[in-house]
Amino acid sequence: MSTLVIVESPTKARTIRNYLPSDYRVEASMGHVRDLPSSADEIPPEVKGTKWAQFGVNVEADFEPLYIIPKEKEKTVKQLKDALKEADELVLATDEDREGESISWHLLQVLKPKVPIKRMVFHEITKEAIRDALKHCRTIDEQVVRAQETRRILDRLVGYTLSPLLWKKIARGLSAGRVQSVAVRLLVNRERQRLAFRQGTYWDLKATLEKDKNPFEARLITLRGIKVATGSDFDESTGQIAAGRNVVLLSEADALALQERLTGKTWTVANIEERPITRKPAPPFTTSTLQQEANRKLGLSAKDTMRTAQSLYEQGYITYMRTDSVHLSEQAIAAARSCVEQMYGKEYLSPKARQYSTKSKGAQEAHEAIRPAGSSFRTPQETGLKDREFRLYDLIWKRTVATQMADSRQTLISVEIQVEDAGFRSSGKRINFPGYLRAYVEGSDDPNAAIEDQEVILPPLKVGDHPNCTELEAIGHETQPPARYTEASLVKTLESEGIGRPSTYASIISTIVDRGYAQMNGNALVPTFTAFAVTGLLEKYFPDLVDTGFTSRMEQTLDDIATGGVDWLPYLRKFYQGEEGLETQVKVRESQIDATEARTIALEGIDAKIRIGKFGPYVEAENGDGVVTASIPKDLTPADINPEQVETILRQKTEGPEKLGIHPETGEPIYILLGSYGHYIQLGDAQEGSKKKPKRAGIPKNTKVEDVTLEMALGLLALPRTLGVHPDTGGKIQAALGPYGPYVVHDQGKEGGKDYRSLKATDDVLTITLERALELLSQPKAGRGGSRSKTKEALRELGNHPEDGEPINIYDGPYGPYIKHGKTNASIPEGESVEAVTLEKALELLAAKASTAKSTKSSSKSSKSTTAKKSTTSKAKTTKTAASKTTTKTTATKKKTS
DNA sequence: CAGTGAGCGAGCTTCCGCTTGACTT
């Protein structure tokens, strides 16, 4: 007698294996095992050529889906089939959500078991929970499966009808979809707001006051009893004060005059207000909030966050990282509370256990919140984790522990000070009891809001006091356009609208960047010309599909299908077929849409036409005797193109390149040209009809075109520059400019190959010395983004071998986890968990195995990645001293109680 | 890398959501 249990992830399989009797075999399906064919080569020959083959859905036969097993899943399916042969019972234990239910159903279709089957669901991975779940199995819920299938078909219909329309009307290879097109539209809409934004300017006064030698600051709030205008009083589209606002707008002259008039006058405290407030800790992490916070606090991309979290999960440090639930298990709450008591003391404990409920739309809650794993939490220091993994675990640990901490109690203090007819205000904040702030402060997307939760001390004041004014500054402000989306804020918006799922947030961003809809500019997502063209078309002809409400309405229907309230077939028919159906709509639109118009982007202030062509965006303009076209450089976006640039691009095309000077030796002209990859330098003219291209050289990224001198151009054209020879090897050392920027290279001869190092920002490829090059070459290679792509991550590090000091680690292999010491590998015996292996035990196992080779030297430490602290500077100008205020992001306090 | 912005015209591009492959220790 044996039972085969199938779960979705191998890590989960490994864990629950330990909680089940020995005659239970646990295997993983690795997610879905079947899907619609994704591309032409997956379409079976028998349906190829039919009208509906490209969909993989037979729209003429009640939307019958054509399921195939993708190539990469064949191996998994075979393993599951083999495992099933030896079982006399099958338990399907995939996640309890729509996709999980569907995976179980597909497994049944593929495996065709002849033994009894059961559907089991569990929400906590503990021995009790799993044993209990095993006793309460059910059958597969066919209606939930239908809901999933409907979702799958609908997404396919949307994606595979709209995308071809874009190929015909705008450019080949483009894509549209229920999720990505809304995401792109969000970016485009924000960029339109930014383009329509008109800056407003206002001035105010800042006073530095003193009471009993304690200085504090106050801001001008009212004048003659009327509120002084600030940024929020402006209309973003005009740069003027919004209609209906009763405010005084101060110009620079007004502010300076007032400053003059108030100097030397008596300041009087008119009113003091104290208001107590309490603040509650943020809920524990979901995928979305983890990505947001890791982006804000650690500067990680959504992808990096997920990669790191996956590794922590596989090593048993955290619970599952793809979840939309903020639910904490009893076990987790108890563990967090015990952490609070031990590390911060009883007074910091929340009086009652705090449980959060999920608010986001369409949450399916198949898992717990993301938290430290286990029934007692390892502190970050105890884990022995390093770098990125440490920092992410630390973040998760703090956030989770903070949820069970007491509220923070604070007092807001507002002091009004009158001088003549001007009212000033000073705001203070007292933290009476920090509570959860001791462990965790949530980050913010707005750098100006980051000072929240910091104490602002005011001296003791009472009404009627006359504080002394030591300085009075007039400060100018400019209103700022709405900020671009970052990965974090886009994920936040998508999640709150119920668009996308935890497993897809990171890939949505990759998709829109890969398809050329957006570029990363620092932390900001900037939409491209293509994004403008595509969004324009979709909004005009398919407004419902790119509306943020489309997904929530679909989700509602899917829920109704799952509970039996709605029939899936009429829903799909109405969506796709008939007069109003998508199929007809696309056909009708296809004849209506003018392709030239669709690929043209109108931007305010730009007279030339901007179009999307086969090779990317280009400008087109009338020019006396015809039409001129010229490519727009790749990194230029609608946001930063201006009439001058358009003119330069076109002029260069018609009048030839700008001449920088003449080469002193050859007498050839040197030009600066603008290509699709940016500016470059060219020596001599291109020969008509000749295959030979003139010598060209790029301009380093951090150099502005205007700053390029003839001397610099000569230097760049002369690259690669030989610096000398290496004192040890005699190999040649050169400096040059490559596709990834400036570098130095050491030619170590035939045997050694070439050793490359990138230059640092402070180095100049034209002037770098041999000494500096040798210094760079002596340092270890930086590696890409700190990830060790080639070397495998250890599951656990046990310590060093007592004899040779070499590290002993546990890695994951195809036959389960194994212990590695130098070149000796030993499997962990069946039934023993990775966590349970001690160094002593490992030495035993290695000794038993080590009848063959002895280890050789192999040790290299990974390089450290540095994180820059972010800071923002206000745009303030002042008449007296430069009043630049710096606010730094608040980070979680790291203090420990003794 | 450093152009181009027709046509010929077969076959192809494309969606969203689940999940990690790999090696012969």
Residues 35-64 of A with CB under 7 A from strand B: 35-36, 38-41, 54
Residue A353's alpha-carbon distances to A279, A335, A401, A479, in angstroms, are 16, 11, 11, 44
Any idea what DSSP says for residue A862? P
Pairing of strands A24-28, A3-7: parallel
Closest protein residue to B21 (Cα–C1'): A72
Task: State whether the beta carbon of A177 lies below 7 angstroms from any atom of strand B.
Answer: yes
Cα separation of A390 and A392, whole Å? Answer: 6
Strands (E), A171-252: 201-211, 214-223, 226-228, 247-248
* 3-class SS of residue A816: strand
Q: How far is the CA of A543 from the C1' of B10 (A)?
A: 34
Residues of chain A where predicted confidence (pLDDT) is lower than 50: 450-451, 783-793, 814-815, 830-831, 848, 850-898
Q: Which nucleotide is nearest to A617 (CA to C1')?
A: B5
Task: Give the pLDDT of residue A484.
Answer: 97
Closest protein residue to B22 (Cα–C1'): A814
How deeply is A143 buried, as exposed, middle or buried, from its count of CB atoms within 10 A (0-12, 13-18, 19+)? middle
Task: State whether the beta carbon of A179 lies below 7 angstroms from any atom of strand B.
Answer: yes
Task: State whether the beta carbon of A825 lies below 7 angstroms from any atom of strand B.
Answer: yes
Task: State whether the beta carbon of A700 lies below 7 angstroms from any atom of strand B.
Answer: no
Q: How far is the CA of A278 from the C1' of B15 (A)?
A: 46
Cα separation of A396 and A297, whole Å? Answer: 12
Nearest by Cα to A415 from A250, A274, A579? A274
Give the tens place of pLDDT for each residue, A848-888.
454 333 332 333 333 333 233 323 223 333 333 333 332 22
Cα separation of A584 and A301, whole Å? Answer: 40
Q: How far is the CA of A120 from the C1' of B24 (A)?
A: 35
Cα separation of A333 and A370, whole Å? Answer: 13
Cα separation of A472 and A218, whole Å? Answer: 10
Task: State whether the beta carbon of A364 lies below 7 angstroms from any atom of strand B.
Answer: yes
Task: Determine phi and psi for A682, rounding to 5 degrees.
Answer: -130, 140
Task: Determine phi and psi for A572, rounding to 5 degrees.
Answer: -65, -40
Task: Give the pLDDT of residue A830.
Answer: 46
* Catalytic residue check, A677: no
Q: How far is the CA of A172 from the C1' of B14 (A)?
A: 10
Residue A13's alpha-carbon distances to A10, A25, A296, A459, in angstroms, are 5, 9, 33, 61
**Contacts for A222-225: CB closer than 8 Å, 24+ residues apart:** A222/A422, A222/A423, A223/A248, A223/A250, A223/A258, A223/A421, A223/A422, A223/A423, A224/A248, A224/A421, A225/A421, A225/A423
Nearest by Cα to A121 from A144, A139, A146? A139
Residue A241's alpha-carbon distances to A310, A475, A533, in angstroms, are 50, 18, 33
Q: How far is the CA of A717 from the C1' of B3 (A)?
A: 21
Residues counted in chain A: 898
Q: How far is the CA of A495 from the C1' of B15 (A)?
A: 19
Residue located via tokens 């019958």: A64
Closest protein residue to B2 (Cα–C1'): A675
Q: Which nucleotide is nearest to A367 (CA to C1')?
A: B18
Angle, CA A209 vertex, CA A204 and CA A213 arms, to 5°:
165
| Structural contact between residues A205 and A255, judged by C-beta atoms closer than 8 angstroms | yes
CB environment A586-603: b (16+ within 10 A), e (fewer): eeebeeebeeeebbbbeb
Residue A428's alpha-carbon distances to A414, A441, A855, in angstroms, are 6, 19, 64
Give the tens place of pLDDT for each residue, A363-411.
777 789 999 999 999 999 999 998 999 999 999 999 999 999 999 999 9
Closest protein residue to B25 (Cα–C1'): A825
Torsion angle of C-alpha atoms A491, A497, A500, A502, degrees rounded to 10:
60
Nearest by Cα to A650 from A683, A608, A690, A702? A608
| Structural contact between residues A158 and A577, judged by C-beta atoms closer than 8 angstroms | no
Task: State whether the beta carbon of A616 lies below 7 angstroms from any atom of strand B.
Answer: yes
Whether a cis peptide bond, with omega within 30° of 0, leads into A720 is: yes
Nucleotides of B under 7 A from a protein CB: 1-5, 11-23, 25
Pairing of strands A90-92, A117-119: parallel
Q: How far is the CA of A779 from the C1' of B22 (A)?
A: 31
Contacts of A836 (CB under 8 A, 6+ apart): none
Q: Which nucleotide is nearest to A653 (CA to C1')?
A: B3
Cα separation of A235 and A244, whole Å? Answer: 11
Catalytic member of A24, A202, A317, A320: A320
Q: Which nucleotide is nearest to A321 (CA to C1')?
A: B19
Task: Give the pLDDT of residue A894.
Answer: 32
Cα separation of A506 and A798, whole Å? Answer: 33
Task: State whether the beta carbon of A311 lies below 7 angstroms from any atom of strand B.
Answer: no
Task: State whether the beta carbon of A152 lies below 7 angstroms from any atom of strand B.
Answer: yes
| Structural contact between residues A121 and A130, judged by C-beta atoms closer than 8 angstroms | no
Q: Which nucleotide is nearest to A816 (CA to C1')?
A: B25
Cα separation of A447 and A656, whole Å? Answer: 45
